[in-house]
Amino acid sequence: MTITIIHPPISFYLIILAFLSIHGNKGATITIVNRCSFTVWPGILSNSGSGSIGSTGFELVSGGSRSLQAPASWSGRFWARTGCNFDSDTGQGTCLTGDCGSNQVECNGAGAKPPATLAEFTIGSGPDELTRKQDFYDVSLVDGYNVPMVVEASGGSEGSCLTTGCVVDLNQKCPSELRFESGSACKSACEAFGSPEYCCSGAYASPAECKPSMYSEIFKSACPRSYSYAFDDPTSTFTCTAADYTITLCPSLPSQKSAANGWREAGGLAETSSSPLSTWLSDVFTSDSSKLQYSHFSLFFCVFLLLRPF
């Protein structure tokens, strides 16, 4: 008796290979949500060599949101521009806070003029890596503050994956000597005074020499998980692997996920984090590496059953 073994077409193998590698080289989806009672104009600055994220600035009405795809190995920052006025005919204009100096809605490679609250990201490995490496993210008040901001990670693993940011309205707590434009923002001490001890420059350009100031402590006490000065790394940088991120501007209340993670609105502290994924497919497609080994085993087992002779 002759046994005929039927092999699947080449396209089948290509699909399997694509399925196995889809988690390895994808970047992160970063969604900006505007819960402020006013329109903002998010600005985006990609670091040199990071490639494009699809936009460098846009208008975002109150209650609106927009998602952008950050490629693997992308790094850069987001901020909110406020009080903008752009001419409907020429498209030119400026913003009261966070202006990037481009004279346009798109910032075109220019950063925020302080003071501005910043969300900073370094997305994991590049497309040649088999698995995505850790992401790093933070909310920084080093360049001052203009709006409350929270960053949440979702679908990630292997890291703290904690919610971070500043939900306190620091414009209401800003010392008079740091106040910007009738209270629309709050300067950093570096921006206000330009002294090396506040800017961590010159003889103070090291963690050993540059210490928290009375002004950075005001920021830190209000927003314990945000950067308050240049060398505030230990309590301000967070990691997660294979996550997507949501930046919420003016978060009036902590989200359900943040509340579950122990986020407290007053200080923005979170002690624990969990990101359970409900299905096998979601484990694979979100690259939850803590469960991915079982997904791969299941997939290879299915392939074995399909290819084995009968």
151-161 pLDDT, tens digit each? 999 998 878 89
Task: Scan for tokens 């600055």, then name that residue.
Answer: 45
Mean pLDDT of the 235-258 span: 83
59, with CB counted inside 10 A (0-12, 13-18, 19+), is: middle
- Ranked by mean pLDDT, the top range of 8-17, 112-121, 272-281 is 112-121
Position 296 confidence tier, pLDDT thresholds 50, 70, 90: very low
Range with the lowest mean pLDDT among 125-139, 181-195, 247-261? 247-261
- Predicted local distance difference test score (pLDDT) of residue 198: 97
Provide the β-strand partners of residue 98.
none
Written as six digits, the tokens of 152 are 């949440």
Q: Mean pLDDT in the chain?
A: 80
214, with CB counted inside 10 A (0-12, 13-18, 19+), is: exposed
Provide the β-strand partners of residue 18.
none
Domains contained in the chain, CATH given: 28-186+212-277 (2.60.110.10)
Position 266 confidence tier, pLDDT thresholds 50, 70, 90: very low
- Predicted local distance difference test score (pLDDT) of residue 7: 53
Distance separating alpha carbons of residues 228 and 38, to the nearest angstrom: 26
More confident position, 74 or 130: 74
Question: For the chain, how many residues are written?
Answer: 310
Helices marked H in the chain? 10-21, 170-173, 189-193, 196-199, 214-222, 256-260, 280-285, 289-307
Mean pLDDT of the 7-27 span: 49
Position 280 confidence tier, pLDDT thresholds 50, 70, 90: very low
- Predicted local distance difference test score (pLDDT) of residue 182: 86
% the chain with pLDDT above 70: 71
Yes or no: say if 97 and 116 are a contact pair by the CB < 8 Å rule. Answer: yes
- Predicted local distance difference test score (pLDDT) of residue 16: 41
Q: Is the pLDDT of residue 237 over 80?
A: yes
pLDDT tens profile 210-219: 999 999 999 9
Cis check for the bond before 175: say yes or no (omega within 30 of 0).
no
Distance separating alpha carbons of residues 140 and 247, to the nearest angstrom: 13
- Predicted local distance difference test score (pLDDT) of residue 234: 87
% the chain with pLDDT above 90: 63
Distance separating alpha carbons of residues 53 and 269, to the nearest angstrom: 30
Helices marked H in 25-142? none
Q: Is the pLDDT of residue 263 over 70?
A: no
pLDDT tens profile 64-111: 999 999 998 999 999 999 999 999 999 999 999 999 999 999 999 999
Answering whether pTM is above 0.85, one says: no
Q: Is the pLDDT of residue 304 over 70?
A: no
Contacts of 32 (CB under 8 A, 6+ apart): 42, 60, 65, 66, 67, 68, 78, 246, 247, 249
More confident position, 261 or 39: 39
Position 287 confidence tier, pLDDT thresholds 50, 70, 90: very low
Mean pLDDT of the 194-206 span: 96
